[in-house]
Amino acid sequence: MDDSQRLRYSRHLLLDEWSEDAQERLLASHALVIGAGGLGAPALMYLASAGVGRITVVDHDTVDLTNLQRQIAHTTDRVGLPKADSARQALAQLNPGVQVHALAQAADESLLRTWVPKADVVLDCTDRFDIRHLINRVCRESGVPLVSAAALRFDGQISVYDPRQPQSPCYACLFPPDAPPEEARCALLGVFAPLVGMMGVVQAGEAIKLLAGLDASAGQVPLTGRLLMVDGRSWQVTALSVRRDPACPVCAGRP
């Protein structure tokens, strides 16, 4: 780490729980962010500003005027551009020291099996139930921690699913794949912009703590094994303890 990096990241380095080693780990890490929309846009900004060395962003969609109410990585003059490319431009302006790889394509199984094993953490910033389960399954099989969040209307939720932790549930333990919810997307039902931004920022926070190696010994309490639920109407936060499902179709019987 050179002097300009020490200055850029000085406010983290001033934390008692942080160290140059923690920052070096962050600079050497690789985050895979799937989705550059309401959740992914703020998450990407904070990952880059904190100094995550490599970021791969996946999104097949293009920037639309309706996105700009909440997707803060995009701008009016980039309407019509692929969201992955727009995000890459935003992150380059924010922190040119971060390597950003943009994939303007859908997160199908082939892509995930190629890129998930290359990552140190995966952020699921999508809004489709089937894709969430596909990401969860590939992360579980690859042994890569997953930070997954959702936001709709005034309700948000987030948890960390870490296959490196024996007691950690996976996404399918909480949300069985054979019980999909009714179609629920913000394009149809709306979403409170500050809430979706808040959930994306918390995603980045959890990912940064994982990548920097901050754990219980540093006074950190990760969201592994807990589901955090946020009510944007009252800002009431509820934390639920969650456990592995012994009958889970994804992780049952896996070490």
pTM exceeds cut of 0.75: yes
Indicate whether 251 belongs to any domain: no
Indicate whether 254 belongs to any domain: no
For residue 231, which of 204, 178, 202, 192 has the smallest C-alpha distance?
192
The pLDDT tens digits of the residues spanning 204-228 come to 999 999 999 987 666 778 899 999 9
Q: What percent of the chain has pLDDT over 90?
A: 87
Specify the pLDDT at position 240: 96
Indicate whether 249 belongs to any domain: no
The pLDDT tens digits of the residues spanning 98-135 come to 999 999 999 999 999 999 999 999 999 999 999 999 99
Q: Is the pLDDT of residue 32 over 80?
A: yes
Residues with active-site annotation: 186
Mean pLDDT of the chain: 94
Indicate whether 246 belongs to any domain: no
**Number of folded domains that form the chain:** 1
From residue 49, how far is each of 2, 11, 30, 112 by CA, in Å? Answer: 16, 11, 14, 25
| Domain span holding position 172 | 3-241
Indicate whether 165 belongs to any domain: yes
Indicate whether 56 belongs to any domain: yes
CATH code of the domain covering residue 132: 3.40.50.720
Indicate whether 193 belongs to any domain: yes
Specify the pLDDT at position 252: 87
Indicate whether 253 belongs to any domain: no
